[in-house]
A and B are shown apart, each in its own frame.
Chain A
Amino acid sequence: MLKRILLIVGVALFSVGRARSEDWQASVEIPRLSVSEYHRPYVAMWIQDEKRKCVANLAVWYQQTRSGEGEGTKWLPDLRQWWRRSGRSLQMPVDGISGATRPAGKHELTFDDQDNRFSGLSAGKYSVVVEASREVGGRELIELPFTWPSDKPQKLSASGKEELGEITFVIPATESLSQN
């Protein structure tokens, strides 16, 4: 038991210590919409290569409980591009990727740079893609291109028009990786 507590403390300290510039950071804003019938959007965020192949899934937010409309997974194909690139061959839910839909506001995500989703990336051109789809609402897709690796930190940002607000993605410099 003590061992376990120590371990938890240790991990916590380690995590605090690692909340640093080496992490990949994302911020996804879901706009507050004034519509008569509002449903939280389904959102997917992933990294794709130049051939639009999904190389890393970052997040998928969907309704995870059953409702009167059936299982939330039923509407996952509405995230059309994510569904094609990745979703249709996944078994949902996926640990560390899938989560519940989120309300309007800014949502911060942090990814450990040692995560093999990034450490395994080969050099090349990629983009971060954020796709949102809302029941009785619209659908929007934002692409943020970047080059990997880079000796300077890269801050990508763009704003959606309807279903997505401000999207930012911060990629640490590769140097900091090699120093680790």
Chain B
Amino acid sequence: MNRLVFSFLMLLVAVPSTSFAHKVWLLPSQTVFSGPEPWLTVDAAVSNDLFYFNHFPLGLDNLVVVAPDGTQVEAENKSTGKYRSVFDLPLTQQGTYRVAVVNNGAFASWEENGKRRRWRGSADAIASEIPADASNLRISESVGRVETFVTNGAPTEESLQPTGVGIELLPVTHPNDLYAGETATFRFLVNGKPAKDLEISVVQGGTRYRNSQEEQQLKTNENGEFEVAFGDAGMYWIETSHQDEQTKIERASSRRMSYAGTLEVLPQ
């Protein structure tokens, strides 16, 4: 299998997916751990339903795992199958890990010999792959983050420090301290700054077993904060996106950012 071609395909699917009905997600085996070296295992997929493997695997080339001490660590046993990718992570440190697939890239379209050309790839490849004199050129940057959080022992926040790129979820309530019947508060940042009026959708997993999505539609306030009331215990998927013109890519006119996170809510 040509890995490069394959991962490129993954990128095509993963990046724009939140703009369609598809949901991109990481599903951790559990989020609360204890012991000297417990192992986390994660499924990564793109699907219509939560959390079922029925559409496409999510590529793991851009998997970024931040350990409790703030350093990046490598996942093990990475594998991509027909419908899902899988990886394992030994939790050798005490505290919270941030596990994310961060897809940064660009889309372009232009006219060549009277025909519309479309292109997707990394920002670095633009110069070599798009003609300098392309007519009607439109380039947009895309910044996508798909993530989840897991904690060994007591929750910590060192690994949750924002990178300042794209949309990021910051804890007011720690993401590994969520319980049914309680209200949690989070803050969304866009490029490291609190983002007002982001439209957020929160959906509980297990959509196959109910008739409607039962989606909670929320909005961030002027501090970038929003509250979620978790009625039932379970895995939840939280999604938002934002578009602006603040791209740093040369010739690009817009920037599209997306965020999808998986949170576990435990029973009281």
> Which of A74, A84, A87, A139 is within 8 Å of B177, CB to CB?
A84
Cβ < 8 Å to B, chain A residues 16-41: none
- Specify which chain A residues have a CB less than 8 angstroms from the CB of B267 in the assembled complex: 80, 139
- State how many residues of chain B have any CB contact under 8 Å with chain A: 15
Name B residues whose Cβ lies closer than 8 Å to a Cβ of A: 32-36, 38, 151, 153-155, 177, 179, 266-268
> Which of A80, A81, A89 is within 8 Å of B154, CB to CB?
A89
A76 with B34: CB separation less than 8 A: yes
Listed A/B pairs (5) with beta-carbon separation below 8 Å:
A70-B35, A80-B267, A83-B34, A88-B153, A89-B153
In this complex, what residue of B is CB-closest to A73? B35
Complex CA gap A175/B217 in Å reads 56
Q: A74-B35, A88-B154 are in contact. List 4 more A-B contacts (CB 8 A).
A: A77-B33, A77-B34, A80-B266, A88-B151
Q: A80-B266, A81-B268, A84-B177 are in contact. Are A74 and B34 (CB under 8 A)?
A: yes
- Specify which chain A residues have a CB less than 8 angstroms from the CB of B266 in the assembled complex: 80, 84
B32 with A77: CB separation less than 8 A: yes
- Specify which chain B residues have a CB less than 8 angstroms from the CB of A141 in the assembled complex: 268
- Specify which chain A residues have a CB less than 8 angstroms from the CB of B268 in the assembled complex: 81, 141
A71 with B36: CB separation less than 8 A: yes
- State how many residues of chain A have any CB contact under 8 Å with chain B: 16
Question: B181 to chain A: closest CB distance in Å?
Answer: 12
Complex CA gap A77/B268 in Å reads 13
- Specify which chain A residues have a CB less than 8 angstroms from the CB of B151 in the assembled complex: 88
Q: Contact mask A39-82 → B, CB, 8 Å, 1/0?
A: 00000000000000000000000000000001101111100110
- Specify which chain A residues have a CB less than 8 angstroms from the CB of B34 in the assembled complex: 73-77, 83, 87-88
In this complex, what residue of B is CB-closest to A52? B268
Complex CA gap A80/B30 in Å reads 13
- Specify which chain A residues have a CB less than 8 angstroms from the CB of B155 in the assembled complex: 88
Complex CA gap A6/B38 in Å reads 48
Question: A65 to chain B: closest CB distance in Å?
Answer: 14
